[in-house]
Structure 1
Amino acid sequence: MGSTVLSLRIDGELLDRLRSHAAKRGMSVQDYVARTLIREDFDERFKTAVDETERFYGPASTGTGTGDHVRPSAGIA
C-alpha cells in the first residue's frame, strides 16, 4: 500500500490541541491524526459488522441468560 498526501486547513487552536495530544503520546501530529482516523474507521467497520450479524441471527439477547444470542457490541453505542 502506498502513501498519498492529504493537506488540511485547520484552526490554530485545533492544531495546538492536536500537538498537545500527540506530544502526550510521544507522536508527531501527522501520526496522531492518522492513528485517530484509523481507529475511527475500525470502530465504524466493527459496528457495521455487529449490526449485520444481529440482522442475520435475529434480535439480541436481553441479558437475562434466557436468550440464545449474545450481542457482540463491545460497548459500541
Structure 2
Amino acid sequence: EAGVIGLAGGALGLGFAAFGLWLIRQQPDEYAKLAHMDGTTLWLTFVLAVAVSVIAGLLPAWRAMQVPPALQLKSQ
C-alpha cells in the first residue's frame, strides 16, 4: 500500500516537474534551454519516492509489531 502511494506521489511530482520545466523553457533567457529531465533523474525520482514511502509505511507496522497480542486483546 505504501509503495503504491509512493509511486502515485512520484508520478504526480514528475508531472509537476515536467510542467515547471516546460514553463522555464518558454522564457527567452539563455538558461531556459538548460532545463531538461533525463532518464537518470526520472528513475531516481521514482525509486526515491517508493523507497521513502515504504520506509514511512514500515514505521507504524514496526510499532504495532512490538505490542504483545495479549495486551491488545485485553484492551478491547
| Interval containing the TM-score (normalised by the shorter chain) | 0.3 to 0.5
Is the radius of gyration larger for structure 1 or structure 2? 2
Query: What's the TM-score once normalised by structure 2's chain length?
Result: 0.43
More helix by share: 2
Q: Which is bigger in relative contact order (C-alpha 8 A, separation at least 6)? A: 2
